[in-house]
Every structure is written in structure tokens, then in C-alpha cells.
Amino acid sequence: MPLLFLAGLLVGLFVLGLSDVRAIGSRPRRRVLLALRVAGLVLGFAVVVQPRLRTEKIEYIPGRLALALDGSLSMSVARRQEAVRAFLDERGEELSDVTVFAVGDGVVGADVSQYAPTAGESHILEDMTGLALDADQGHVSSMLLLSDGIDTSKDPSLDALRGSGLRVHTAWVPGDSLDDDAITRVRADPVAFLRQESLVRVWVRSSDPSIGELQVILDHRGELVSKGTAVLVDGVGTVELRFTPRALGRTSYRVSIPVRGRDAVPENNGQSVLVQVERDRLRVLHVAGRPSWDQRFLREFLKKDPTIDLISFFILRNNSDLTLASPEEMALIPFPTEELFADHLDSFDLVIFQNFDYGPYGMARHLPRIRDYVLGGGSFAMLGGELSFSAGGYAGTPLESILPVTLPVSAGEGSLLYGRFLPRVPEGIEGHPLVALRGDPAATHDLWSSLAPLDGLNRVEAVAPGATVLLTHPTQRLQGGEPVPVLLLGKSEPPPSEGLVRGGGASPADKGRVLALMTDTSWHWGMVTGGTDGDPSTYALFWDRALRWLARDPSLEPSRLSTDRDRVGPGAELVVEGIARVPSYVPVTTPVEVVVVDPDGHPLGDPIIVRPDARGEFRGRLRAPSPVGAYRLSLRGGDGQEWAEEWFLVEDATDELADLAPRSDMLSAMSEATGARAFRSLDEVPSLSELREARRRVGGQEYAFPLATWPVFLLFVCLWGLEWWLRRRWGRR
């Protein structure tokens, strides 16, 4: 604003002088007065503004050379590391006054005698830019970079390096001809749904132009899941692999390609991915031998749940029934045994046999299929009645081998017990979620004693080894003196030689689950209990828990394990939380182990020891392994038995070994941007003294004000005084 005001004032004085001299008749006189007015105004403006002169003191100092070595892992292949070491040994005397740095994953000082590229990233341009901007403090005038040219920065830019004023010479280290196949990228759906097909897309490359395709394999726990062939165009290709998860929770799949004999880096031939398996809908096959109150209540319960995809059949008649009409006149469909138990059995999460006898329907040949379905991880429930268990002829069949009970051989009336009774919860089982419907043990016993009595149950010979008895008869006893079981649970897995469990190396989630309810009157817990001023919700709550247990709901597992993150960097700290309980759901308060296990099942390092609190809950910390890949955390008791597991993935921000082809374009661009030289090999690098340059430095600055002197002021006064005198002499005021 002051300058604008001053400029306006000068223009006004000039206009005023111009209008005044127009009255002078002589043109030369007018020109003299105008020249004096302009000179006076210009000099006056300059005196007020006071321009200054700046003088810089420039000095040239001997420049230093800095040597930057690419320390990323890609320099360790194709004899690139050996080439750099040979160069350093050859130029040893010249390096005595050279500052050496390693770049790639941050700038660090380096010892030329211990050059070992191990950085997991190649941020070469970013590190060189930072080094160049700090070079002035060390009087560095130029740098020499030895690199293969691989830069994994997301958005590399030369602008900052170009403006640093530092010359960056580059020497390309391509190494020997690289023979390498690699998986460069894997993309999988982060969430997959149980028993539904999901997709993994894999990008591969090969440095061998003679290879036109690569076989890609997807495996889970060491077992082949699927494979495909990637067709290579210009050395790169993609392939899509499909898989169908069989268990809920976080799990790992591994993608790999075969390792050829001359493969330079076999480590990049495989990658692991984590997948969180969720359940979209619970697919249930419900088969009932005849209509009944028990069948009606259970079917209605299953139909009301929108998360259940129910396929339900109940038998109204069989071929031995006497009818007054021909089969063609009846609006009944035949029982589709072939479609259900041969074609689509594996599509179900749970199969329920409710008071169903298999004999009249030609199902004997399908019983081994149902057994194998359970041994392969499926769930099965058998509910009692006069057509079930021994009364249904299941004793001695393949299906008995998966049941949690041993059945008497005799069928008919002798296989049933009659009479009303209140089932009891055995001591030590009060914490199991299928019976602990009201919290603490005392409330659990009170609840079951307040329900309407059951009426009748199926006899058993004995409880199968490994079964869990949740409810018992209050008075009836087995031959060994144990209470007759009413509700039992079992888990089934095949012998190792059979190989029926998917995934190779069974986990707790791989075991098939079986529920046996030895009565057909559980509906009493609902309507009958509600009719006697009790709580009718017990029926729905029990079956909700039962279905969730059979469906492997993680929240109902005795022991659980979780991590604060599913992906971590190499050597990062991992927070582990969980709950430790024995199969009867009694909390464990003694120390337990958390072990890191590699994909092959081998423990890594020492386990961490944690001590659970009174509720079995614990928390601990451990270090993730350094090698990239998928690992499994295993929760183990004092006897070494595994109680729970959780997967996590160790990964780098960038995959340094994904593409190892050397690239010279980045190095040439860096040298061109800084006015330096780019060498195509280490042999082309001249004597290091030729790369040193004198560095221009400003030693100081001086400022002078040439118009702030007495002669200038006197000239200003003389100009205005002469104008005034001439104006008066020529007749103007």
C-alpha cells in the first residue's frame, strides 16, 4: 500500500507539471521543464524506496564423493552381490576417503568389507533423494550408486532429486543371466463361505522365454485342493484356482509353482494367503420316520430361523403299509434316497435322523456314506423314538461306529425304556453350553429340575469311548452301574491310514460331530413346561445351542485362541488372547503353552507359557518369525495335546523377490535428472577421482545502499531547484 500511494503521488505531480508547462509557448522550454520534472520524480522515488545491492562471496571447496550400495535382497541373486564385492575390493585404495551408505530400506552407514544385501524393500529413489538433500552437511558434491535398478516404491518421483543440486552417477549391476520362475502376486477373497466355492487369482512370471506355461497348485494343510495352468505371454500369465472351505474360522491356503533345477530363487515359487471362512446359511437335512409332536416342534424351530436352509422329509407311509388306494392316486413323493445320500450329502452342514428307521427305504448301502461324511468333518444328530437307535436296526451298522453309544443287538420293545423322568446334569458338566442355559452350576441344576418330565427313552449297551454325557436318567443304570445316558455328544475322526479328513494333519475343527438324544419328548421342554407355569424358552434355547455346537460355532468351543492382528511384519510383536478349558468346559488355571508352528507342523522356537485366570482366560505376547509365510498358533495343555489353534501371516509391505529382473531405466533417469553419468556396468566406472567435483559454496553476503548518500540528496535538491528557477524565469510560478 505505501508503494501504491507513493506511485500515485508521483503520477499526480507529473500531471500537474504537464498541465502547467503547456502555457509556455516555446517547445524547447517545455521539454526542458518536463525533463527536469521527470528526473526529479524518479530520483525522489528512488531515494524514498532505497534500493540495495547484494554482493555474495563465492568459494569453491574440494568436493567429496559418497558411495551408495543397493542393500535390498534382490542384490543377493544372480551373482550381483559378488560383482559388487569384487568392485569394492578392486577400488579399495580409492575408497579410503569415500563415505559409504546402504540404501533400499532406509539409509544406513555401511562397511565395504561386510556388504550383505538383506533389506526386504527396494526404495532406492526415495532413499537416494533423502541422502542427496542431506549431502551438503558432509560437503558431498556427487554420489555413485551401485544397483540392479529394481525399485518397489509405489510412486517414485525424480522432482526432489532433480532439485537437490547433487550429481548422482549410477552403475548398473545386472548380474548373470537370471533363470527364475516366480509368483508375483496372489489375490484371494478375504472372506469365504463354508461349503461354497471361492476364488484365488495368481499372477506368475518366468525369465525363460522357452516356457509357455506354468502349473500352479493350491493346497491346504499339505493336501492338494486344486491346480491350474497359467499360459505365459511375454513371460507373464495369470490363472484362477477355486476351492471350497470345509471348516469355519481363519485358515491358510498356499499357492505354489514347481521349482525347476536351475531356478535361481526357489523362495519366490510359493505364497500363502489367509482366508476368513464364515457361514452364509446352515444347510440342514432333516429326516423323520413319522409325524409326531417331537418332529413338528423341531421342524417348526428349524423353519423359523432365517439362517437355516432346511431340507425336511418325514415319512407318511412305506411300502408295507395297507392302503385303500393305488400309489398312483396318492399325492406323495417317493423318498429320494439316491439324490440325498449319494449326490448331495456333502452339501449339508448337518444331517438329523429323527425317529427314523432306514430299512424300509433301501438305505443300507448309504449308511457307509453317512459314516464317511461324519468322519470327513460333517455333523450328525440322531433323536430317539420307537424307530431309532436299536429299535431302528442301527446296531452293528456302519452308522453305529460314529455314535457316542454302543447299541444293544436286540430290537423291538426290549430296546425301549418307558416312564416319565427328570433328566439330571452329571457333576462336572454344568459348564457345557448345551446344558448351562442359565449361568452358574446351581442355576443349571435348578433349571433342569424345573422342566416338564420326559417320557421314555432308547436303551443303550454302553457309552462309547470319548463320548461326553450331558444328561442322565435319575434312576436307571447300565450294566456297569453308570446312569443311563439321555443326551450325549461325540467327535469322530478316521484312522490316519484312511485319509478321510480334509486338509492333511487334522485340527480340532476337522473332527465330525455327533449328537445323540435318546428320547422323542424334548418338545416337553417347550409347550408342556410353559403350560405348567415354567419357562417355555428352554426348548428353543437348547436346540439353538445344539445346532451351533454341531455347526462348530467358535464361541461354543471349550478353548479358543485369537490374535490382535491376522497379518504382521517379520519379527513383529503379536498379542495372543484366549480361553483354556478342558472338554467338559471346566476352566484350566494351570500354565499352558502357546506354540508357533510352521505349515509342516514343526514347532518354531520356545513356546510362551501363560497362566489362565479363574475363568480360564489368558493374554500373552510373542515375536512372529522372520521368514515370510503362514504360521499357526497352537494352544497346548501340560500333556502336549492341542486344544485350539489360530493362523496368522507374516508378510512384507512389498515382495522384494517377486520380480528380480534388473532394470536400468530408473538408474539412467536418476543420472539424467542430476546431470551425471550413467554406467551400464561396473567395468565402465572410471577412477573415482574423476567423479569428484568442486562444490560451490556461498561464504557470505554484503548489502549496500548506493542512494543513501549526500551527493544523491544534493542532486535531488538541485533538480527541483533548477526547475523552480527556470519556471520563474520563463514566466511561470
User: Which residues face 646 on adjacent strands?
Assistant: 633
Name the average pLDDT for the chain.
83
Alpha-carbon gap, residue 605 to 84, rounded angstroms? 35
For the cut 90, the answer to whether the pLDDT of residue 467 exceeds it is yes
Residues written for the chain: 733
- Closest-CA residue to 713 (of 48, 34, 54, 7): 48
Count how many Cα atoms sit within 13 Å of the Cα of residue 233 in the half-sphere of its side chain.
2
The C-alpha cell of 261 is what? Answer: 533345477
- Closest-CA residue to 236 (of 678, 618, 661, 720): 661
Angle at 420 between CA 415 and CA 424, to 5 degrees: 90
Angle at 89 between CA 85 and CA 90, to 5 degrees: 115
**Can you give the pLDDT at residue 504?**
35
Q: What is the dihedral of CA 655, 659, 662, 664, to 10 degrees?
A: -80
3-state SS, 549-599, equals: HHCCCHHHCCCEEEECCCEECCCCEEEEEEECECCCCCECCCCEEEEEECC
Residue 19 φ/ψ, nearest 5 degrees:
-70, -30
631, 601 in Cβ contact below 8 A?
no
For the cut 50, the answer to whether the pLDDT of residue 97 exceeds it is yes
Q: Which residue has the cell 523362495?
A: 267
**Can you give the pLDDT at residue 321?**
47
The type of residue at 176 is D
Count how many Cα atoms sit within 13 Å of the Cα of residue 512 in the half-sphere of its side chain.
30
Alpha-carbon gap, residue 304 to 354, rounded angstroms? 18
The C-alpha cell of 122 is what? Answer: 527396494
**pTM (2 decimals)?**
0.71
> Residues near 206 by Cβ (< 8 Å), separated by ≥ 6?
180, 181, 182, 214, 232, 235
Alpha-carbon gap, residue 203 to 187, rounded angstroms? 9
Helices (H), 222-366: 293-304, 337-338
- Closest-CA residue to 508 (of 492, 522, 519): 492
Alpha-carbon gap, residue 436 to 448, rounded angstroms? 10
More confident residue, 617 or 109: 617
Alpha-carbon gap, residue 266 to 86, rounded angstroms? 26
Strand order in the sheet with 99-103: 108-109, 99-103, 64-70, 140-147, 167-172, 678-679
Helices (H), 344-394: 367-375
540, 547 in Cβ contact below 8 A?
no
The C-alpha cell of 706 is what? Answer: 548506493
Reported as a single tens digit per residue, the pLDDT across 126-137 is: 888 777 777 655
User: Which residues face 206 on adjacent strands?
Assistant: 181
Residue 180 burial (10 A CB sphere; 0-12, 13-18, 19+): buried
The type of residue at 429 is I
Exposure string for 588-600, b = 16+ CB within 10 A, e = fewer? beeebbbbbbebe
656, 147 in Cβ contact below 8 A?
no
Reported as a single tens digit per residue, the pLDDT across 710-725 is: 787 787 778 777 777 7
- At residue 663 the predicted structure's pLDDT band, cuts being 50, 70 and 90, is confident
Angle at 653 between CA 647 and CA 657, to 5 degrees: 95
| DSSP conformational letter for 708 | S
Alpha-carbon gap, residue 620 to 635, rounded angstroms? 12
| Mean pLDDT, range 231-253, rounded to an integer | 91
| Number of C-beta neighbours around residue 64 at 10 A | 18
638, 583 in Cβ contact below 8 A?
no
Q: 139-148, 344-353, 370-379, 415-424: lowest mean pLDDT where?
A: 139-148
User: 3-state class of 384 per DSSP?
Assistant: coil
Residue 56 burial (10 A CB sphere; 0-12, 13-18, 19+): exposed
**Can you give the pLDDT at residue 127?**
81
Residue 401 φ/ψ, nearest 5 degrees:
-65, -20
Element (H, E) at 644: strand 642-650
Element (H, E) at 447: helix 441-450
Which CATH code for domain 560-650? 2.60.40.1930
Q: 162-166, 259-263, 619-623: lowest mean pLDDT where?
A: 162-166
Q: 92-101, 404-413, 506-515: lowest mean pLDDT where?
A: 506-515
| DSSP conformational letter for 147 | E
Q: Pairing relation of β-strands 350-354 and 678-679?
A: unpaired
Q: Pairing relation of β-strands 270-278 and 560-563?
A: unpaired
Which CATH code for domain 181-278? 2.60.40.150
For the cut 90, the answer to whether the pLDDT of residue 613 exceeds it is yes
**Can you give the pLDDT at residue 331?**
41
- At residue 478 the predicted structure's pLDDT band, cuts being 50, 70 and 90, is very high
For the cut 80, the answer to whether the pLDDT of residue 707 exceeds it is no
For the cut 50, the answer to whether the pLDDT of residue 332 exceeds it is no
| Mean pLDDT, range 210-220, rounded to an integer | 92
282-320+335-496+510-550 has which fold? Rossmann fold (3.40.50)
> Residues near 714 by Cβ (< 8 Å), separated by ≥ 6?
none
More confident residue, 297 or 9: 297
523, 505 in Cβ contact below 8 A?
no
Reported as a single tens digit per residue, the pLDDT across 349-383 is: 999 999 998 877 777 888 999 999 999 889 999 99
Q: 300-314, 501-515, 576-590, 665-679: lowest mean pLDDT where?
A: 501-515
Element (H, E) at 64: strand 64-70
Q: Pairing relation of β-strands 191-193 and 270-278?
A: parallel
**Can you give the pLDDT at residue 325?**
46
For the cut 70, the answer to whether the pLDDT of residue 84 exceeds it is yes
Q: 36-45, 108-117, 598-607, 683-692: lowest mean pLDDT where?
A: 36-45
For the cut 60, the answer to whether the pLDDT of residue 503 exceeds it is no
Alpha-carbon gap, residue 678 to 170, rounded angstroms? 5
Alpha-carbon gap, residue 67 to 692, rounded angstroms? 11
Rg, C-alpha atoms of the chain: 44
The C-alpha cell of 199 is what? Answer: 476364488
Domain 60-177+660-698: top CATH class: alpha beta
**Can you give the pLDDT at residue 1?**
53
Greatest mean pLDDT among 15-24, 354-363, 559-568 lies in: 559-568
